[in-house]
Amino acid sequence: MSQSPKPPKSEKSEKPARRPMTLRRKLVLSFVGLLALFAIVVGAFSVTALHRDQFDRLDDQLAQSLRAQFTNPPPDGNFGDAVGGSQHESRLGTLVLMALDGQVIRAEYTGEDGAVTTLTQSQAVAVVKQVEAAPKTVSVPGLGAMRVQSETLTDASGTRLVVIAGLDASDAQATTRNLMIVYAIVAAIAIALFALFASNLVSRALRPLGRVASTAVKVSARPLAAGEGTIPDRVPEVDTDPRTEVGQVGSALNHLLDSVEDALVAREQSERRLRQFVADASHELRTPLAAIRGYSELVQRGDANLDESQQRSLERINSASVRMTDLVEDLLLLARLDAGQQLRLDETDLTRIVLDAIADAQATHPDHEWVLDAEPEELLVHGDALRLHQVLANLLRNAGTHTPAGTTVTVSTRRDEGALEVSVTDNGPGIDPDVMPSIFGRFVRGDTARERGAEGSGGTGSTGLGLAISQAIATAHGGEIRAESEPGQTRFTLRLPGLGGA
**pLDDT value for 86:** 45
**Domain shared by 302 and 394, yes or no:** no
pLDDT at 12 over 50: no
Torsion angle in degrees (nearest 10) through CA of 54, 56, 62, 68: -120
Final residue in a domain of this structure, among 292, 314, 341: 341
**Domain shared by 444 and 326, yes or no:** no
CATH number of the structural domain spanning residue 297: 1.10.287
**Domain shared by 260 and 333, yes or no:** yes
Cα–Cα distance measured from residue 123 to residue 155, given in angstroms and rounded to the nearest whole number: 28
**pLDDT, tens digit, for every residue of 488-499?**
889 999 988 877
**pLDDT value for 188:** 92
Cα–Cα distance measured from residue 362 to residue 411, given in angstroms and rounded to the nearest whole number: 12
In this structure, the number of other CB atoms found within 10 A of the CB of residue 58 comes to: 18
Residue 458 lies in a domain: yes
**pLDDT, tens digit, for every residue of 164-191?**
888 888 888 888 889 999 999 999 999 9
pLDDT at 232 over 70: yes
**pLDDT value for 192:** 92
Average pLDDT over residues 263-290: 74
Measured in whole angstroms, the distance separating CA 398 from the mean position of its chain's CA atoms is 43
**More reliable by pLDDT, 75 or 216:** 216
Final residue in a domain of this structure, among 141, 175, 209: 209
**Domain shared by 487 and 356, yes or no:** yes
**pLDDT, tens digit, for every residue of 114-144?**
778 888 888 888 888 888 888 888 888 888 8
Cα–Cα distance measured from residue 460 to residue 458, given in angstroms and rounded to the nearest whole number: 7
**Domain shared by 248 and 384, yes or no:** no
Residue 317 lies in a domain: yes
**HSE-CB for 27 with a 13 A CA cutoff:** 14
Residue 280 lies in a domain: yes
- pLDDT above 70 covers a percentage of the chain that reads 82
**pLDDT, tens digit, for every residue of 415-465?**
887 788 889 999 988 888 888 888 887 777 655 444 444 344 344 455 677
Cα–Cα distance measured from residue 446 to residue 211, given in angstroms and rounded to the nearest whole number: 49
**Domain shared by 163 and 199, yes or no:** yes
CATH number of the structural domain spanning residue 408: 3.30.565.10
> Bridge partners of 493?
423, 482
Classify residue 345 as left (phi > 0), alpha (psi -120 to 50) or beta: beta
**Domain shared by 44 and 178, yes or no:** yes
Please give the residue range of the domain that contains residue 381: 346-497
Cα–Cα distance measured from residue 395 to residue 482, given in angstroms and rounded to the nearest whole number: 12
**pLDDT value for 10:** 46
**More reliable by pLDDT, 247 or 335:** 247
Residue 14 lies in a domain: no
Residue 177 lies in a domain: yes
Q: From 399, 405, 410, 386, select the one nearest 462 (Cα to Cα).
A: 399
Residue 484 lies in a domain: yes
Torsion angle in degrees (nearest 10) through CA of 146, 149, 152, 153: -110
- pLDDT above 90 covers a percentage of the chain that reads 8
Final residue in a domain of this structure, among 312, 341, 370: 341
pLDDT at 407 over 80: yes
**Domain shared by 380 and 398, yes or no:** yes
Strands (E) in 44-127, as ranges, are 94-100, 103-110, 116-118
Tell me how many domains the chain contains. Answer: 3
Cα–Cα distance measured from residue 148 to residue 169, given in angstroms and rounded to the nearest whole number: 9
pLDDT at 237 over 60: yes
Residue 82 lies in a domain: no
Residue 9 lies in a domain: no
How many residues does this entry show for the chain?
502
DSSP three-state, residue 492? strand
**Domain shared by 244 and 328, yes or no:** yes
Measured in whole angstroms, the distance separating CA 137 from the mean position of its chain's CA atoms is 58
Average pLDDT over residues 70-99: 59
**Domain shared by 298 and 386, yes or no:** no
**Domain shared by 362 and 466, yes or no:** yes
**pLDDT value for 182:** 92
**Domain shared by 67 and 204, yes or no:** yes
